[in-house]
Amino acid sequence: MRRLFIAGNWKMNLDRGHSLSLVQGLVESLRGVSNVDIAVCPPAVYLGELGKALHGSNIGLGAQNAYSKPEGAFTGEISCSMLKDVGCRYVILGHSERRAIFGETDQMVNEKLHAVLAAGLTPIVCVGETLQQRENGQTQQVVRSQCVGSLAGLSHDQMLKTVLAYEPVWAIGTGKTATPAQAEEVHQDIRNLLESHFSRETSQNVIILYGGSVKADNAQELLSEPNIDGALVGGASLKLDSFEGIVKAATSIKK
| 213/227 with CB nearer ligand PEP | 213
| 64/227 with CB nearer ligand PEP | 64
Which amino acid is present at 101?
I
Residue 4, beta-bridge partner list: 36
CB 52 to ligand PEP: min, Å: 25
Contact window for ligand PEP (CB under 6 A) among 82-90, 131-139, 208-216, 244-252: 208-216
Catalytic residue numbers, as ranges: 95, 167
| 177/203 with CB nearer ligand PEP | 177
Residues 62-81 that bind ligand PEP (CB under 6 A): none
Cβ proximity of 210 and 231 under 8 Å: yes
Contact window for ligand PEP (CB under 6 A) among 21-29, 44-52, 61-69, 209-217: 209-217
Rg of the Cα atoms in the chain: 17
Number of H helices, E strands in the chain: 12, 8
Residues 12-41 that bind ligand PEP (CB under 6 A): none
- Phi, psi dihedral angles at 91 (to 5 degrees): -140, 125
Cβ proximity of 215 and 241 under 8 Å: no
Q: Does 186 bind ligand PEP (CB under 6 A)?
A: no
| 9/122 with CB nearer ligand PEP | 9
Q: Does 8 bind ligand PEP (CB under 6 A)?
A: no
CB 109 to ligand PEP: min, Å: 15
Kindly give the pairing relationship between strand 208-211 and strand 122-127: unpaired
Find the helix or strand (DSSP H, E) in which 48 lies. Answer: helix 47-54
What is the greatest pairwise CA distance in the chain? Answer: 49
CB 61 to ligand PEP: min, Å: 17
x/- track of binding to ligand PEP for residues 224-253 (CB under 6 A):
--------xxxxx-----------------
Cβ proximity of 90 and 121 under 8 Å: yes
Cβ proximity of 93 and 109 under 8 Å: yes
Q: State the residues that interact with ligand PEP by CB under 6 A.
A: 9, 167, 172-173, 211-214, 232-236
